[in-house]
């Protein structure tokens, strides 16, 4: 395992421990609403602090882009951190949330880690080295037909409610043409489940860089495809994501693209 990937794994596991320790006192946590339907808790901040401390121990000069504390530093290596992807789930005790950490070098994703602390599942990838779940190689599914495919998604929220009508049209068509649609509530895990063949496609509007960076690398290393709604590589900056195994990616893109004209 590459040294930086090992550091990311160490940081993710420590952040996961913070989350699990706090699960039995959810009602006493301080929770703040950053924007409508977007919450942050003491656990988000403590988990992020834990991750940054681990990174700083080994690479004090590297840049960091973190969900709660923002961007710091100006280095060719940047660590992209979502300390708790699925905060609303976590605060309700709904058992789907994760830690996501990616390392980018001069704009290229090099390493990615997504950790599910409840199931203790660790998804990892380094560019050109394949993707793993708990050190076992993973690949996207081989399904070729939408009618047999399970598709994951996320609902528009934050400032993206303006696209809700467009999204609901997408959801209607995907529901009609697929075997089913699931909305677990952690985009990082959704993309990793796609990489592991547990779902066959995924789409969402308005994700942030830290939501998708690690998962995107893991997915690509598992043989999947990912883009924005126009088929370009701008999905990290736009936050609009469509992904899948090669066949289902193409089919899903075709279904949602007629309803994406109003989405930048």
Residue with tokens 């959704």: 190
Q: Encode pLDDT of 194-221 as tens digits.
A: 999 999 999 999 999 999 999 999 999 9
3-state secondary structure 216-238: HHHHHHCCCEEECCCCCCCHHHH
**Could you tell me the residue ranges of all domains in the chain?**
3-135, 146-257
Residue 149 pLDDT class (50, 70, 90 cuts): very high
167-184 burial code (b ≥16 CB/10 A, e <16):
beebbebbeebbeebeeb
Query: Which residue, 42, 41, 77, is CA-closest to 60?
Result: 77
Annotation: CATH topology of 3-135:
Fructose-1,6-Bisphosphatase; Chain A, domain 1 (3.30.540)
Report the C-alpha gap between 245 and 224 in whole angstroms: 5
> Does domain 146-257 correspond to CATH entry 2.40.10.480?
no
Residue-level pLDDT at 43: 87
Q: Encode pLDDT of 160-197 as tens digits.
A: 788 999 999 999 999 999 999 999 999 999 999 999 99
Distances (CA, A) of 152 to 36, 108, 127, 149, 190: 23, 26, 24, 10, 6
Does 146-257 match 3-135 at the fold level? Answer: no
Q: Encode pLDDT of 20-71 as tens digits.
A: 998 888 777 767 665 554 556 788 899 999 999 999 999 999 999 999 899 9
């Amino acid at each position: 395992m590459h040294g930086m990937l090992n550091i990311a794994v160490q940081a993710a596991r420590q952040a996961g421990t913070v989350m699990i320790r706090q699960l039995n006192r959810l009602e006493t946590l301080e929770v703040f609403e950053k924007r409508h339907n977007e919450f942050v808790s003491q656990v988000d901040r403590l988990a992020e602090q834990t991750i940054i401390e681990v990174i700083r121990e080994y690479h004090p000069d590297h840049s960091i882009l973190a969900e709660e504390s923002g961007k710091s530093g100006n280095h060719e290596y940047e660590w992209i951190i979502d300390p708790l992807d699925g905060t609303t789930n976590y605060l309700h005790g709904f058992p789907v949330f994760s830690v996501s950490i990616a390392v980018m070098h001069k704009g290229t994703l090099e390493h990615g880690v997504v950790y599910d602390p409840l199931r203790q599942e660790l998804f990892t990838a380094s560019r050109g080295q394949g993707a793993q779940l708990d050190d076992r190689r993973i690949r996207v599914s081989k399904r070729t037909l939408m009618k047999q495919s399970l598709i994951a998604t996320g609902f528009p929220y934050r400032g993206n409610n303006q696209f809700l009508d467009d999204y609901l049209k997408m959801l209607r068509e995907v529901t009609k043409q697929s075997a089913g649609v699931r909305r677990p509530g952690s985009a990082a895990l959704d993309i990793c489940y796609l990489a592991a063949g547990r779902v066959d496609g995924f789409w969402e509007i308005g994700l942030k860089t830290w939501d998708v960076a690690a998962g995107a690398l893991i997915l690509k290393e598992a043989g999947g495809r990912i883009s924005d709604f126009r088929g370009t590589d701008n999905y990290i900056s736009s936050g609009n994501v469509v992904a899948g195994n090669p066949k289902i990616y193409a089919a899903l893109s075709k279904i949602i693209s007629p309803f994406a004209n109003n989405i930048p």
